[in-house]
């Protein structure tokens, strides 16, 4: 399977703990995006990378959240001191960039986080 993969698929953690999620984009896609989806809502943009550079962050991304893409391939999203309000599905997507035109984003299956 050459699609976007995410690990883990499910994570249950206690309030106050740190968690880290991983996303592997489609090979050679140079743009990578993170979204968060809460129950009954559409996904909300968190941040995106072009290669290893983080180009934009949403104000939803509080200082407890950090994302990295150190070598321009896979990415990690870490949440420190988790809160119950962090419970959501975290989605990763990737796309390719040709010239100034981005192409459609391909989504992974998501990581469902439950904070107890």
Partner 1 sequence: AQSVTQLDSHVSVSEGTPVLLRCNYSSSYSPSLFWYVQHPNKGLQLLLKYTSAATLVKGINGFEAEFKKSETSFHLTKPSAHMSDAAEYFCVVSDTPNFGNEKLTFGTGTRLTIIP
Given CA atoms 97, 102, 104, 110 in this order, what sign does their dihedral have?
positive
Given CA atoms 22, 25, 30, 33 in this order, what sign does their dihedral have?
negative
Residue ranges in 76-95 that form contacts with partner 1 under rule CB under 8 A: 91, 93, 95
Q: Please choose, out of 14-22, 68-76, 78-86, 99-107, the segment that lies near partner 1 by the rule CB under 8 A.
A: 99-107
Answer yes or no whether residue 42 interacts with partner 1 by CB under 8 A: yes
- 67 vs 75: CA distance, rounded Å: 7
- 30 vs 53: CA distance, rounded Å: 10
Answer yes or no whether residue 24 interacts with partner 1 by CB under 8 A: no
Answer yes or no whether residue 3 interacts with partner 1 by CB under 8 A: yes
Residues that bind partner 1 (CB under 8 A): 3-4, 31, 33, 35, 40-45, 48, 55-56, 91, 93, 95, 100-110
């Amino acid at each position: 399977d050459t699609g976007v993969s995410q690990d883990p698929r499910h994570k249950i953690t206690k309030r106050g703990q740190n968690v880290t999620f991983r996303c592997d984009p489609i090979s050679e896609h140079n743009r990578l995006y993170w979204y968060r989806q809460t129950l009954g809502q559409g996904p909300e943009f968190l941040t995106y990378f072009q290669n290893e550079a983080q180009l934009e962050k949403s104000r939803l991304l509080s200082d407890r959240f950090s994302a990295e893409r150190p070598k321009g391939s896979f990415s990690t999203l870490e949440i420190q001191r988790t809160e119950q309000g962090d419970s959501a599905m975290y989605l990763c997507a990737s796309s390719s960039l040709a010239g100034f035109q981005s192409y459609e984003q391909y989504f992974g299956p998501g990581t469902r986080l439950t904070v107890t």
